[in-house]
Structure formats: C-alpha cells, structure tokens
Amino acid sequence: MTTTSSRFFDELAKLMTNAAGAAQGVRNEIDQLVKTQVERVLNDLDVVQREEFEAVRDMAAKAREENERLQARIGELETKLKDGKS
C-alpha cells in the first residue's frame, strides 16, 4: 500500500509540475500577444518612443540655450551700436 501511495503521489507531483510549466508557457505567450497588440495600437496612434522623445527634447534644450546666447550677443551689439552713434 505504501509503494502504491508513493507512486501515486510521485505521479501527481509530476503532473502538477507539468501543469505549472504549461501554465507558465501560456502566460508567456499571452504576455507576448498583449505586448504585440499594444505596440500595434501605439504605432497606429503615431506615439513616439521614449528614446526619440528624449533626443528631440535634448535638441530643443540646446537650441533654446543657443537662442538665449544669441539674444544676449545681439543685445551687446545693439548697445555698442547705440554708444558708437551717440
């Protein structure tokens, strides 16, 4: 009786292990399908990726700094021009 019970529980443990592995596989497959669908929807909405957004943000910050530098330089030149004409 002990051997039969032991074999039964061994088989039950194998079955549970296989079921857990199958469940993990199904979960991975569902995760991949959801990810694919979300990417498709975002592409249809023309949403930019984070890397692209950050690159454009950095370019805008540099352009803003350059604009401020040029405005200061123009102010200096205008002041010199006024002083030279007076």
Average pLDDT for runs of 10 along the chain of length 86: 79 88 90 92 85 96 97 95 80
Q: What is the pLDDT of residue 42?
A: 83
Distances (CA, A) of 14 to 2, 10, 28, 68: 18, 6, 21, 70
Q: What is the pLDDT of residue 86?
A: 56
Tokens linked to 86: 């007076």
Q: What gap in Å lies between CA 18 and CA 8, rounded to an integer?
A: 15
Tokens linked to 24: 């993990």
Q: What is the pLDDT of residue 2?
A: 65
Q: Which alpha helices (H) appear in 1-86, and where do they start and end?
A: 2-44, 50-85
- Judge if pTM exceeds 0.85: no
Q: What is the pLDDT of residue 1?
A: 53
